[in-house]
Amino acid sequence: KYTTVIIPAAGKGKRMGTQMNKQYLELGGKPIIVHTIEKFDQSPRIHEIIIVTSKEEMEYFKKEIVSKYHFNKPLKVVAGGKERQESVYNGLKNISPEAEIILIHDGARPFVSLEEIEKSVEGAREYGSCVIGVRVKDTIKICNEEGYIESTPRREGLWAVQTPQSFQTSIILEAHKKAEEDHFLGTDDATLVERLGYPIKILEGGYQNIKITTPDDLTIGEVILSKRS
Q: Does 106 bind ligand CTP (CB under 6 A)?
A: yes
Q: Within the chain, where are the H helices?
A: 32-42, 58-61, 84-92, 114-127, 169-181, 189-194, 215-228
**Binding of ligand CTP by 217 (CB under 6 A):** no
Find the binding residues for ligand CTP in span 86-105 (CB under 6 A).
87
The bridge status of strand 101-104 relative to strand 201-204 is: unpaired
Binding of ligand CTP at residue 15 (CB under 6 A)? Answer: yes
Assess 164 for contact with ligand CTP (CB under 6 A).
Answer: no
Smaller CB separation from ligand CTP, 139 or 187 = 187
Nearer to Mg ion (CB atom), residue 87 or residue 169 = 87
DSSP string, 110-162: TT--HHHHHHHHHHHHHHSEEEEEEE--SPP-EE-TTS-EEE---GGG-EEEE
Measure the N-to-C terminal CA separation of the chain; round to a whole number of Å. 32
Site for Mg ion in 3-22 (CB under 5 A): 11
Q: Do residues 131 and 200 lie in contact, with contact meaning Cβ atoms separated by under 8 Å? A: yes
Q: How many residues does the chain have?
A: 229
Q: Hey, CA dihedral for 5, 11, 13, 14, is it positive or negative?
A: negative
Number of residues counted as binding ligand CTP (CB under 6 A): 20
From candidates 195, 198, 211, 218, binder to ligand CTP by CB under 6 A: 211
Rounded distance, CA 205 to CA 135, Å? Answer: 9
Is residue 212 classed as helix, strand or coil in its secondary structure?
A: coil
- 221's contact among Mg ion, ligand CTP, none, with CB below 5 to 8 A by partner kind, is none
Binder of ligand CTP out of 198, 213, 218, 225 (CB under 6 A): 213
Instruction: Please compute, for residue 189, the number of CA atoms within 13 A of its CA located in the half-sphere on the CB side.
Output: 34
CB of 109 to ligand CTP, least distance (A): 7
Q: Among 5, 6, 13, 112, which residue interacts with ligand CTP (rule: CB under 6 A)?
A: 13
Q: How far is the CB of 107 from Mg ion (least distance, A)?
A: 11
Binding site partner of 102, from Mg ion, ligand CTP, none, Cβ cut-off 5-8 A by kind: none
CA distance 218 to 221: 5
The only residue of 8, 31, 164, 205 in contact with ligand CTP, by rule CB under 6 A: 8
Residues lying near Mg ion in the complex (CB under 5 A): 11
Residues lying near ligand CTP in the complex (CB under 6 A): 8-15, 52, 80-84, 87, 106-108, 211, 213
